[in-house]
Amino acid sequence: MNISVIGTGSFGTSLSMVLNDNNNRVMMYGRNQDTVLEINQSHTNSQYLKNIDLASDIKATSSLKEAVSHGEVLVLAVPVNAMRSVAAEINQLLKDLSKEVLIVHVAKGLELNTYKRVSEVLEEVFDPEYVSDICVLSGPSHAEEVAEKQPTTVSTASIHSKGAEIIQDVFMTDYFRVYVNNDMVGVEIGGALKNIVALAVGALSGYGFGDNPKAAVITRGLHEIARLGTKLGANPLTFLGLAGMGDLIVTATSQHSRNYRCGQMLAGGLSLEEATEKMGMVVEGVNTTRATYELAEKYDVDMPITKVLYGYLFNDISEDEAFSALMKREKTSESEGLKQLLESQIKNSK
């Protein structure tokens, strides 16, 4: 199958390798001419994946029209804040070409101001006449390890079930396993909100805290993700799977995670602007924290970790104030939160 990957960052590049290994004809699109030239001539992408060789038959272009013309499937591997504008460009090209494609995005975040999931943004932008389905691919999948062909498992979901089954087929290899999930909301919310927890755990690490507080934030963070996700219509069981707990574990415990590393830098004394600039890549958890905080306020969902991290990132509260706000909250029962989630799922299933 002809597949175009829109974006030449680390994840777009590693997924291009997966797709090529599964005998697809892959073309990558990127705006940076030097990166495109390096992929085509040296078969590397050293800015994002060091010491990794790309197959010579993976091609790159700086022409979005050429990429859209090539692909039967378009993989959107661009940051959330660029998704709407890139999708609009692609939609116009599809109109000009009078061509239908299958869309799959791999972004993990919420759009600022609208609080929309990425698939909701894409539904607004793309004309249904030119898009057969919109899918998401998400799960515990560091680009560096995917590029090394380490065993990886992810989930895919789509607005219409057929699209997810196609994505499963085109991505599945002996080291990259794809599960179909019918919960689009849950898969996208899990992938987006785990970045908030990863930022918080990274900050704990930077302040020298041990495993106990990190485990507490990861566990209670999963509760928060499930609370908001269920309110938005997700199946709470999704958050116990790859797109929930799986992605949360890998993102909140690893130096591969840019959100985790950004949290460490903030704890080390860098400002938010300095930390994100030093990362050299988009830290989706920053904007997602703001969007999720505002979304939780809108739906009256209790998300104490998100609320405290929002204050830490944007209102300059100190680490002492943050820890105090979490540890001195009103006493409650752990099982009560689980009970509410289960009751919500029973209500939604009727």
The residue type of 66 is E
Which own/partner contact pairs does 333-341 have at CB distance under 8 Å and 24+ positions apart? 337/223, 337/227, 340/227, 341/226, 341/227, 341/230, 341/236
Q: What is the rounded average pLDDT of the residues 72-101?
A: 97
Sequence ranges of the domains in the chain: 2-182, 185-349
Q: What is the rounded average pLDDT of the residues 57-67?
A: 98
- Identify whether 194 is a catalytic site residue: yes
Residue with tokens 């057969």: 132
CA 285 to CA 262: how far, in whole Å? Answer: 9
**Taking the domain 185-349, which CATH number applies?**
1.10.1040.10
Q: Is the pLDDT of residue 322 over 80?
A: no
Distances in whole angstroms, Cα of residue 167 to Cα of each of 21, 52, 222, 329: 15, 25, 27, 44
Q: What is the rounded average pLDDT of the residues 65-72?
A: 98
DSSP 292-325: HHHHHHHHT---HHHHHHHHHHHS---HHHHHHH
Residue 111, Cα to own-chain centre: how many angstroms?
A: 12
> What pLDDT sits at residue 282?
80
Annotated binding-site members: 10-11, 31, 48, 108, 139, 141, 143, 194, 247, 257-259, 282, 284
Residue 79, Cα to own-chain centre: how many angstroms?
A: 9
> What pLDDT sits at residue 309?
93
SS3 266: helix
Catalytically annotated residue among 194, 298, 307, 347:
194
Annotated binding-site members for sn-glycerol 3-phosphate: 108, 139, 141, 194, 247, 257-259
Q: What is the rounded average pLDDT of the residues 223-236?
A: 95
To the question of pTM greater than 0.85 for the whole model, the response is yes
> What pLDDT sits at residue 327?
66
DSSP class of residue 239 equals G
Give the CATH fold of the 2-182 domain.
Rossmann fold (3.40.50)
Annotated binding-site members for NADPH: 10-11, 31, 48, 108, 143, 258, 282, 284
> What pLDDT sits at residue 317?
81
Structure tokens at 245: 């707990």
Task: Convert the pLDDT of each residue in 4-32 to its tens digit.
Answer: 999 999 999 999 999 999 999 999 999 99
Residues 6+ apart with CB under 8 A from 212: none
> What pLDDT sits at residue 336?
59
Task: Convert the pLDDT of each residue in 324-348 to its tens digit.
Answer: 766 665 666 666 555 555 565 555 5
Q: What is the rounded average pLDDT of the residues 250-257?
A: 92
Q: What is the rounded average pLDDT of the residues 28-44?
A: 97
> What pLDDT sits at residue 338?
55
